[in-house]
A and B are shown apart, each in its own frame.
Chain A
């Protein structure tokens, strides 16, 4: 038993989809279990933090951490697993680039709390109760993790050795990554364990994209009768494919939906949103300000479109020296 490499899975601010993706390995999961010793996996097995604390430093071969970092507890667990592991893998979009929860960085902490605890239409909170880090009552005390000012990617909190991209990582990408890590021949540090070429390379519709084109505006996929054979951008439906790492087997494209960018950018790109913006805006048909505005108005949520998974990890607002806690 002890010969097998020890592996830990942990989740931070995430939806649980990444955990699901491990289970999605199906029979593949049994292969994994055969090769490794899972020493910590709160979502599936009963371990306590104290069990991890009791382990020797670097005794875990690899910790797979999904979700981004929003609370003090997530931060502590990330540090703890970093200490106990040889290799830390950011698993899935949230840990990798910030993911959907990273979009919360559009709002200040207080704005979020005010909405969630006071203003949301489904909330009744006459006493204006807010979560407290520590609450004393009748001599006893209960605690909650602190809610930090910003959402951070895993590598903004601890050193990360590898990344497995995706929202969630596909079984194929996850299994291949595991195999690489277990092969003993570790790739260079900070590698994203997926192909380093944009999705268009593998897209089944790539033949249908014309060489000469310009954008007159963008249609929303839910209101459009989408041609299932033709490049989304050629149909003026916004697609993140050109700016997104491939390796997902074009699953969304296969479902007749454009790429939303969950695999993040290629390693050469520092800011995925800025890159696709630069690309798209260079090809607008508009010649004057009004026309440009009109085209841009056809994208109602630019930040959520260009930075759907990448806001926390992007260059945006990075010069704001907001204290983390």
Chain B
């Protein structure tokens, strides 16, 4: 090895772990230790049942001292699990932790192979690669970066609200950004919440008001995150403020302008009532909207569309709050951490045409029913169908766009219980006979099964079977004018036709169709269905792979209010832990440019996803800000004259690792 000259004498200690049977049952660990023992540079080669245990770590430390080792290779599980354990052990024994290297022979060999001889050979190859690599390791130091205590919360639904309030109460400044004109999210549209039948508005609106009034929260509604740069502790975000055409600091929410609008009645799709009612071009989403500010819809307002109108609204507003010249504004904020709580969307039932949504007017989705049964909804809580009649018989179909290979395969978790809840409410308000059609009843969680039992006792019918279709084709006289639900009742093994007046589709939930935009902005990953990916499914369900970016609520996966709030609290606590520590340590795996070698070709500059590379016009060379660098290696690979190298991944390290991997003949 050439590096022995530049790096002094290299004395490697090699330690291979059985991980109980995890590795030991598939890989001949004794043989691996034996083969590696004879490689150049290896002073000692040992195997042990659990390397990560205290005795295992002590063994490494004693060997370092006794044999004067200056390189440590541990072949065990994934570095994600125990790299830090062994780095600390190495450091404790008095040598720089970056002289340690970990080989994963569990996930990469024993767990994925059945042929013992081949798995053993692979473990040897992987280990040999590491042995050749560590010759070129160098001592490195972690850098500390301070944390900006301000937090950005994206999304003003119940998760975002709860996270923002938790942080604000702890004395942290919070920017709460919501793209709609009001906070409240989906929960604000619900009538009662399961399983306790608390009125959603009664428990939510006080929290909304608290957000508005909290001195530590800067509420940015009708706004979107446009750009994010920086890194954990030091993020910068550009927030797009969409124009409401209202001076926010002048408007008091008297709503006189809405009355004065030249449109006497609503004419446009009312987002809040999911289309069950119409609103005017100037509107407030709902009476408790927070902030209490009207919005002008630029697609609908005659003045904004054509530049000409009688402007009765302006005339009426005695505070001069209306400003038709408002433009989009961009504000830059500085924060140290981010909580993404952008929620989910409901499944579009039109994608299942045989359930008749959008075709038969009396087929509703569940969110429409939430509005319909709501006392402040479009009908004042009267269950009146689109045809003006009160239904006598109602069918609620579960799993619409859930547990279905043709649409979404996952269970949406909330639909069974909300369907039970809607059955209860509809029956209570209309006196109708209610049928629930389910595949499996899934009512986990505190009090939910009890609630299901209660509603069953109330006389709601439950039929087990996936509904085949909803049709208006009447087979007999009494079916005429009805919607017929065709279903196999799997409990009695009979195909049934059940005529009803109203059909409610228990639609599932799915990631927002534009979830990818936020995902890219914050550099977080998503699982296959598109929900944001947590750092660990069990131990860090609120954290992401992007440092300082946390997730909460429906954007991470289907969940009810209880779980969304719990996760939001956890995410806020994580952010607080980060903030109160005050600094973070950066892994020194950063790229660096050798000034003598850089030709100033600028090839690297546009490639950096973290904008860590800048160009120094004075010396005409590129420079990397090591605090911004995340060590992705893009610039290293792309530098056409190899003037960029990366700590922990130098060319020498990688080439020798590959070389070690491909030396079959030694075995």
Interface residues of A (CB under 8 A from B): 196-201, 206, 209-214, 241-246, 265-266, 268-270, 275-276, 278-279, 282-283
Contact = CB atoms under 8 A, between A and B. Distances in A.
A199 B599 contact: yes
A243 to B, nearest CB: 4
B601 A198 contact: yes
A272 to B, nearest CB: 8
Given A197-B597, A242-B599, A275 B606 contact: no
Contact of A200 (B596, B599, B651): B599
A283 B607 contact: yes
Contacts of A279: 603, 638-640
Given A196-B597, A268-B651, A278-B637, A213 B643 contact: no
Nearest to B622: A211
A213 B606 contact: yes
B642 interface: yes
**Interface class of chain B by DSSP:** loop
11 contacts: A197-B596, A210-B602, A211-B615, A212-B605, A241-B601, A244-B641, A246-B599, A268-B641, A268-B643, A279-B640, A283-B638
Which of A241, A268, A275: most chain B Cβ within 10 A?
A268
A204 to B, nearest CB: 13
Interface of B: 596-603, 605-607, 615, 620, 634, 637-643, 651, 655
Given A196-B597, A197-B597, A268-B597, A283 B641 contact: no
A275 B602 contact: no
B602 A198 contact: no
Contacts of A206: 600-601, 620
Contacts of B599: 197-201, 242, 246
A211 B640 contact: no
A195 to B, nearest CB: 10
Contacts, number: 81
Given A275-B639, A275-B642, A283-B607, 16 more contacts: A200-B600, A201-B598, A209-B602, A211-B605, A211-B606, A211-B615, A212-B606, A242-B603, A246-B599, A265-B641, A268-B642, A268-B651, A278-B638, A279-B639, A282-B634, A283-B603
A206 B615 CA distance: 13
Nearest to A196: B597
Contacts of B620: 201, 206
B642 A269 contact: yes
A75 B92 CA distance: 58
Most chain A beta carbons < 10 A, residue from B605, B620, B641:
B641
Contacts of A214: 606
B601 A209 contact: yes
Nearest to B606: A212
A215 to B, nearest CB: 10
Nearest to B645: A268
Contacts of A200: 599-601
Given A198-B599, A201-B600, A206-B600, A275 B640 contact: yes
A270 B642 CA distance: 9
A123 B417 CA distance: 86
A282 B655 CA distance: 22
Contacts of A270: 655
A266 B606 contact: no
Contacts of B637: 278, 282
A282 to B, nearest CB: 4
Contacts of B639: 275, 279
Contact of A266 (B600, B602, B642): B642
